[in-house]
Structure 1
Amino acid sequence: MALLASSRLSRWRRVPDFPWAAGAATGIGSLPGVDIAEAQRIVLGELPALPHLPELPERGPGADVIGRTAGFLVDLPVQVYTGRWQIAARPGKDMRVTADLLERDLDQLTEQADGYTGPLKIQAAGPWTLAASLDLPIGGRMLRDPGAVRDLTDSLAEGLRRHVENVRKRVPGATVLLQLDEPSLPTVLAGRVPTESGLGAYREVDGPDAATALRTVVEAVGAPVIVHCCAPDLPWQVIRDSRATAVAFDLSLLTDLDPLGEAVEAGLGIFVGAVPTRPSSGARPEAKQIAERVSTLWKRLGFPAARLPEQVVITPACGLAGAPYPYVRALLKACTEAGRRISEV
């Protein structure tokens, strides 16, 4: 590791400034409960350097990540059929519910973030997770049809471009960042997404094709994009080839430092999921331990210490929808304090 660190130090080059403040912390997206006003107060209060638009999936279909993202699609209406989201012939009740939930959330954001200046993160499912989750009208996932995946990707790219513009108008002082949630990406690449019968799996998608779809969205939205994947076997090269600004991952699942080091060296922002999403034996998250965990990782990678607070953002390991609210508050507060600690080193 000493030789590796020395090599990286010698090849280090200055990368462009990142669209967040040094020592920033943020959430991944989901929070518990059904009260969007309270959720936004917590996020804006506990994550002042990089707040995000919280998602509350406990409100039901249309508030979940797949339903909400499907609501952004242009000219591809959706519906809930037998408990799953499916492409529909025309817009109906489920799309109205989805749009209404989003509008309420954005109205709250407009009110509570009035006067806010700085980075603001919004989230949506990425094209591959959406393709692996949405059903075709004739049955089967959209993933089975490459042409349908291309149409889905183009529709999503345009819908998210409009969403980014809408958020900018509502919070004109904000620098909007878009997080694409891709928990299904590793299984899509490996050909492990099961068919409806459970007896087979859909075809593998090769890395260049996966990167091309992600890049279509990245280049269309007109905002810095973070690709988030809190699953094992994170496809680092695909994310780098997508031209995303940053990658978000669960640190506890990291088994090989080399791909991470190469991503850092290439100038990718690093959102480190350094805090468990559930309390362990009643233990509260400690900012000092979080900061030490992230600092130790950085030292092992062998990059200049001064770059740590600039290139790294501290986050929970994943979404917090199932966590108790006292833990959520303590966790987000600890992430913010840990960010301050690493920026003071």
Structure 2
Amino acid sequence: MRATGVGSHPGEDQQALDEAVRVVLGELGEEPGLPYLPEVPGRGATATMTGRGLAVLEGLDADLQPAGWRLTGSSGSPGVDHRRTRSLLAQDLDTLEERAQAFTGTFKVQVCGPWTLAATVERPRGDKLLADHGARRELAQALAEGVRAHVADVRRRLSSLERLVVQVDEPALAAVVSGSVPTASGFGRHRTVDLPEASQGLEWVLGAIESSGAEPWVHACAPGTPWGLVRGAGARGLSVDLGVLAAADHDVLAEALEAGESVVLGVVPGTRPATEAGDAQVTERVLRWLDMLGLDPEELPGLVVSPTCGLAGADAAYARAALALVRTSAANVQAG
């Protein structure tokens, strides 16, 4: 039984990133914690989930337009914004390396998934990559290659790690497979991506993570995420918001846990609620869920608790409190 966070933290500058690394290592650096590289998207477009995903791409260039990120092709000469997002990721990894070089346990990093990138990044000719079958295929393959290099870089920096998890963030996957992503005009919707293609795009990225010696997880907090498809594509960890799951999703999670895989239950709000729950209430919620499925917490080493989504919309004090709450709750569940 472990505790972790989804990834994002509040703040608007590099000092906020430094503080977030310190908080994560302080709250989750010892059992039952699972620390991670924080993301601080408030620093601007180069630090958002999309920007961080583009920083990892191999062989494709991008630039920043008034409407957002746009691919510019494969010239091998990235524009200034693309260089900045790569530089910022390297700078964040430098900070992590300085603070966590001696860490020896399990560590997590996050990367934007291929379908969320396809739903948020534009083609050179305009509109989302999602509109172009060939472009979205090329994007997924470029991300898979880039992830290999990213895993190698993290392992080089944190050479004492026992286990590295790479969480692929796919908040837009549900919209992609349901045909709910709006077109550039806002008046239409992109066509549904069929399930075999959606699975293949994920398979390339998740397979690249696993073949690089890391463990592939997928996070999504949107209702309607096809968790059976995600698990079938090779995810060895499923990170969910417990409050938005459909009835069939619970069976998929139970099967994953019984197979020795990881399930991350989002049970603490990502922003400060009107009435804050204590660790006893969070613990009880996890135990009730396990009881509903007939699962024994003592036999589920892959169970993890976390906030429901990222903490970027919270204040710094609540972000710290949320991590402390999931850590204490995990210890309570583990203790029985």
Shift of 1:83: 3.4
Give the TM-score normalised by the residue count of structure 1.
0.90
Aligned to 2:254: 261
1:235-254 Cα shifts (integer Å, max 9, x gaps): 01111111111100111112
Count of matched residue positions in the alignment of Structure 1 and Structure 2: 321
Query: Which amino acid in 1 is paired with 2:279?
Result: A
**2:7–2:36 CA contact under 8 A, matched in 1:** yes
Aligned to 2:36: 52
In structure 2, stretches of 5+ residues that fail to align are none
Aligned to 1:4: none
2:335 to 333, 341, 344: 344
Between the aligned partners of 2:299 and 2:208, the Cα distance in structure 1 is 29
1:80 to 53, 64, 68: 64
1:25 partnered with 2:39? no
**1:71–1:77 CA contact under 8 A, matched in 2:** no
1:214 partnered with 2:198? no
Aligned to 2:226: 235
Between the aligned partners of 1:176 and 1:261, the Cα distance in structure 2 is 23
Q: 1:115 to 1:262 in 2, by over 3 A?
A: closer
2:270 to 260, 277, 290: 277
Between the aligned partners of 1:265 and 1:195, the Cα distance in structure 2 is 41
Q: Report matched runs for 1:114-193 at 5 Å.
A: 114-174=101-161, 175-193=163-181
Counterpart secondary structure, 1:109:
helix
Q: 1:252 to 1:337 in 2, by over 3 A?
A: same
**1:144–1:203 CA contact under 8 A, matched in 2:** yes
**1:129–1:184 CA contact under 8 A, matched in 2:** yes
Between the aligned partners of 1:84 and 1:288, the Cα distance in structure 2 is 43
**2:108–2:166 CA contact under 8 A, matched in 1:** yes
**1:285–1:330 CA contact under 8 A, matched in 2:** no
Query: Which amino acid in 1 is paired with 2:9?
Result: L
1:66 to 7, 26, 50: 50
Identity value in percent: 42
1:142-184 Cα shifts (integer Å, max 9, x gaps): 1111111111111000111101110000011122110000010
Shift of 1:266: 4.5
Between the aligned partners of 2:333 and 2:229, the Cα distance in structure 1 is 29
Give the TM-score normalised by the residue count of structure 2.
0.92
**1:285–1:331 CA contact under 8 A, matched in 2:** no
Shift of 1:262: 3.7
**1:26–1:315 CA contact under 8 A, matched in 2:** yes
Q: Report matched runs for 1:94-109 at 5 Å.
A: 94-109=81-96
Between the aligned partners of 1:166 and 1:305, the Cα distance in structure 2 is 35
Between the aligned partners of 1:307 and 1:203, the Cα distance in structure 2 is 43
**1:284–1:327 CA contact under 8 A, matched in 2:** no
Between the aligned partners of 1:57 and 1:285, the Cα distance in structure 2 is 27
**2:47–2:85 CA contact under 8 A, matched in 1:** yes
Query: Which amino acid in 2 is paired with 1:217?
Result: V
Counterpart secondary structure, 2:3:
coil
1:287 partnered with 2:279? yes
Aligned to 1:17: none
1:321 partnered with 2:305? no
Between the aligned partners of 1:170 and 1:83, the Cα distance in structure 2 is 35
In structure 1, stretches of 5+ residues that fail to align are 1-22
Shift of 1:258: 3.3
1:115-139 Cα shifts (integer Å, max 9, x gaps): 1101110001110111111100101
Between the aligned partners of 2:232 and 2:196, the Cα distance in structure 1 is 8
Counterpart secondary structure, 1:29:
coil
Between the aligned partners of 1:207 and 1:314, the Cα distance in structure 2 is 29
1:312 partnered with 2:303? yes
Counterpart secondary structure, 2:120:
coil
Counterpart secondary structure, 1:132:
helix
Shift of 1:267: 4.2
Between the aligned partners of 1:96 and 1:209, the Cα distance in structure 2 is 31
**2:257–2:303 CA contact under 8 A, matched in 1:** no
Counterpart secondary structure, 2:270:
coil
Between the aligned partners of 2:253 and 2:90, the Cα distance in structure 1 is 37
Shift of 1:285: 4.2
